[in-house]
Chain A
C-alpha cells in the first residue's frame, strides 16, 4: 500500500493550495454562500480549466487526466481546506464516479469529455425524503416510454441539484423492491416536468436541492436493473472522497485555532502557554493526523483495488466525521467568545464539519458497515 505522496503529487498540492488561497478567500466564500447558485460559473470554469480539476481522475480516453484517487484526494483535501464554493464534489465525485461505474463505453465517451473540459456541471441524485443512502430506500419509478423512460417521484439532499446541467438519477422498475430493478438514468437539468428547489441549509457553502420529477424524460445509463453493484461501488468512492475533503478542512481549523491562541494574551501571558490549551492542541493534532492517515489509506486502497475496501472506506468516513467535528468544537472553544460570532470565520468550517459528518451516513452508520464487512 502507498503511504506517502510522490514529489509530483506534493508539487501539485502546493500549486493548487496557492491558487485556492488566492481565489477562495473567506471573503469569496462568504460572498458566494449567500448566493442562490452557490458559486460563480465563470470564475469556477476558469480555475477548473487552468488546473484541470474535474479532469483529474477521468481516464484519458474520455478526455481526462488519467490520474487516480490519490490525486483526486489531494484536490478534495485542498478544496476542503479553503472551503471552495464550486460544484466540484457533485460533478467530479458524485456524477463522474456514477458515470464511470455504470455507463457503457459509448455513454462514457459521450458524457465525460464535457465534464473533464469543465463545460458541464453534473450531480447524482439518489437519496429521497428519508435521507437514507441505501439502494432499498429508492422509491422513484422509471417507466419505459418509447425508446426512453419517464421518471416519477422526488429526490432530496441532492448536492448542487438546483444548478447541475446533467443529473444522474437512481430509480426503480415499478413494483420492484430492495436492490432489484434499480437502474441509473441521466436527465437534463432543464428537462420539462423537473422542478428544482434549493433547500435552506445549515452549511451554506454546501448547496442542497429537492427535485420533483413528474414524467420527466430520462435515458438509461448502463444496464437495466443492474444498478445495485455500481451504486455500491459509487458510494464507497464517494465517502472516501468526502473523507479526504474533510481532513483538509479539519487541518485548516486546527492550524487557525493554534495561530489564534499563540496570539491571544490573557492574565499577562499567551494563552498558548497554558497547559490546558497545549493539551487540547496536542489532542487536536492526534485527531486530525489519525483521520488523515485513514483518508489517505482509503484513497490508496481505491487506487490499488484493495479487497477490504468496504470496511476501509467506512472506517475513513467514520474517523473523519468525528475528527472534523471534534476539531471544530475545540476550535470554537479556543477562540472563546469571538469564536461564536458570525464575523469570525471559524463557524464556516464548523458548519462544514457538521454537514460533512452527516452527509452520506454518520459515524455510527459507517462503523456498523465496517462491522458488517469484518464480522
Chain B
C-alpha cells in the first residue's frame, strides 16, 4: 500500500461519505457506522475504530465532513481525555468496553483529580483506595469536576499506598459514577454559575478490572491525561459547534452539544472579551478619554503580542525547529490579557459596573466579565505554577528544595481536610 497523502485521504473519505452519509440516520446509529469505518477517529488504530492515519490528516477529514454536512463522532468534553488515556494505558477490556461508547456519545465522562486539599499539588491526593477482597473501596472527596452530575464514568486518581513517597502511592481507576457510594453536589462560583461539582465517595466500589495503572503508577497515567488536557484545552470546548441544519440527526447533535457546552458558557467572559472593547469605547464615548485610550492600547498590544507569540511558536513547529521559549508562555500571558481587559471594561462602564444582570450593560455580560476573570489565573494551572514551569523547564533554574517527595506520604504534613 502506498503512503497516504492529503489528496488520497481526501478522496477516500469523500468517496466513503458520498456512499454512506444520510441525514436521516439517528445520531448513535450513524456514529456506529463511523466506528465501523474508522472515519470518526482516523488517527486511532484500525483495531480500535480508527484508520491508523497520522494525526495531521484529521483536519482534511474534518474538512470533508464539513463540506458534505456530515455529523462527526462525539468530541467535546472530558471523554476525549478518557479516550486518549485508555488508548495509551488501558487494557483490551477497557478499550472494548469504553471506546465505542465514547465515540457514539452514549457515555459521558468526568475527571476526578483535584481535591480540596490538593489543587496545584495534585500528587498530594488523599482520596483513599483500599483493597477489600478483590474490589477497591473508595473514600474521600474530589472537586472542580466538570459535568460530574451527568457523567457515567470518572477518571479517578486515588491513594492506594501511604507508606511510600507521594508520587509512588497513587492508582488510576475508571469509576462507575452511577452507584450509591458516589454523591455529586454542584459547586457555586463567585460569578454565580455552577459549572463544576464536588464529588463525595463513601465506600464507592471499583471492580478490580477497572484499575488502569499498576498501584503506584497512577501518577504516570494521570500525567498522560493532563498532557492531553493542556494540548487540547481549547479543543475540548470549541470543537463542538452545532450546524444550523434541520433534521433528526442535527437536532440530536445540537441537544448533545448544548448539554456538553453548558458549563463553559461563561468562558468567553473569563478571557476578558477583548473583542467588545472598541465597540464599548465608542458607545460610551470613553474613546475620547486620553487616560482610557492608553489603557485600551495596552490591552490591544498585549492581546496582539499574545496572538503573534502563539503564531511564532506554531510556525517554528511547522518548520520542524526545536520548541523555543515562546511556546510555553501562552497560559500566563492569557492571564495578563484577561486582567487588563477587566480593568478596561471597568473604566469604560463607570457606575454601571456597580450593577449586574438585567440592570447592567449588555444584559449582564460586562458584569460577568468582571467576576469571571479571576478564574483565568487559577484554572488549569495557576500563574504561580506556570512561572515555576517556565523557570524550571525553559530557563533551567533549580527546583525549590523539596520537603515532601522523599519520605512516606503518611508522614507529610497536609491540610486538615485530609481523611
Chain A residue nearest to B282 (CB atoms) is A375
In the complex, which residues 270-326 of chain A have their Cβ closer than 8 Å to any Cβ of chain B? 270, 272-275, 277-279, 281-283, 285-286, 289-294, 296-297, 315, 318-319
Residues B397 and A294 in contact, CB atoms below 8 Å apart: no
Residues B294 and A367 in contact, CB atoms below 8 Å apart: yes
Distance from B337 Cβ to chain A, minimum over Cβ atoms (Å): 10
Residues B301 and A294 in contact, CB atoms below 8 Å apart: yes
Q: CB of B293 within 8 A of chain A?
A: yes
Residues A282 and B314 in contact, CB atoms below 8 Å apart: no
From A261, A281, A367, contact of B297 by CB (8 A): A367
From B287, B304, B321, B395, contact of A282 by CB (8 A): B395
Give the interface centre of A270, A274, A292 by most chain B CB atoms within 10 Å. A292
Distance from A288 Cβ to chain B, minimum over Cβ atoms (Å): 9
In the complex, which residues 222-279 of chain A have their Cβ closer than 8 Å to any Cβ of chain B? 258, 261-262, 269-270, 272-275, 277-279
From A294, A364, A374, contact of B278 by CB (8 A): A374
A262: chain B residues within 8 A (beta carbon): 397-398
Q: CB of A371 within 8 A of chain B?
A: yes
Given contacts A3-B315, A4-B319, A273-B400, contact A293 B309 (CB under 8 A): yes
From B290, B301, B399, contact of A315 by CB (8 A): B301
Residues A279 and B278 in contact, CB atoms below 8 Å apart: no
Residues B301 and A279 in contact, CB atoms below 8 Å apart: no
A212 vs B321: C-alpha distance when bound (angstroms): 52
Distance from B295 Cβ to chain A, minimum over Cβ atoms (Å): 9
Residues B315 and A4 in contact, CB atoms below 8 Å apart: yes
Residues A278 and B388 in contact, CB atoms below 8 Å apart: yes
From B278, B282, B316, B392, contact of A278 by CB (8 A): B392
Distance from B136 Cβ to chain A, minimum over Cβ atoms (Å): 37
A289 vs B321: C-alpha distance when bound (angstroms): 17
A273 vs B399: C-alpha distance when bound (angstroms): 6
Residues B333 and A371 in contact, CB atoms below 8 Å apart: no
Q: CB of B106 within 8 A of chain A?
A: no
A334 vs B220: C-alpha distance when bound (angstroms): 36
Chain A residue nearest to B389 (CB atoms) is A282
Q: CB of A119 within 8 A of chain B?
A: no
Q: CB of A368 within 8 A of chain B?
A: yes
Q: CB of B379 within 8 A of chain A?
A: no
Q: CB of A370 within 8 A of chain B?
A: yes
A274 vs B397: C-alpha distance when bound (angstroms): 9
A293: chain B residues within 8 A (beta carbon): 305, 308-309, 311-312, 326
Q: CB of B401 within 8 A of chain A?
A: yes
A297: chain B residues within 8 A (beta carbon): 304, 308
Distance from B335 Cβ to chain A, minimum over Cβ atoms (Å): 10
Q: CB of B187 within 8 A of chain A?
A: no
A371 vs B400: C-alpha distance when bound (angstroms): 44
Residues A281 and B391 in contact, CB atoms below 8 Å apart: yes
Residue-wise interface mask of A (33-62) relative to B, using a CB-CB cutoff of 8 A (1 in contact, 0 not)? 000000000000000000000000000000
Q: CB of B300 within 8 A of chain A?
A: yes
A261: chain B residues within 8 A (beta carbon): 397
Distance from A309 Cβ to chain B, minimum over Cβ atoms (Å): 13
Q: CB of B414 within 8 A of chain A?
A: no
A279: chain B residues within 8 A (beta carbon): 384, 387-388, 391
Q: CB of B177 within 8 A of chain A?
A: no
B325: chain A residues within 8 A (beta carbon): 285, 289
Given contacts A370-B297, A374-B278, contact A294 B305 (CB under 8 A): yes
Residue-wise interface mask of B (319-339) relative to A, using a CB-CB cutoff of 8 A (1 in contact, 0 not)? 101000110010011001000
Residues A4 and B300 in contact, CB atoms below 8 Å apart: no
Residues A289 and B308 in contact, CB atoms below 8 Å apart: no
A sample of 28 cross-chain residue pairs with beta-carbon separation below 8 angstroms, ordered by A number, consists of A1-B311, A258-B395, A273-B401, A274-B400, A275-B384, A275-B387, A275-B400, A277-B397, A278-B395, A279-B384, A282-B332, A285-B394, A286-B332, A286-B336, A289-B325, A289-B326, A290-B333, A293-B305, A293-B309, A294-B304, A294-B308, A315-B297, A315-B300, A315-B301, A315-B305, A318-B301, A368-B293, A374-B300
Which 9 pairs between the two chains have the least Cβ-Cβ distance?
A367-B297, A278-B391, A3-B315, A4-B315, A282-B387, A282-B390, A290-B305, A293-B308, A273-B398
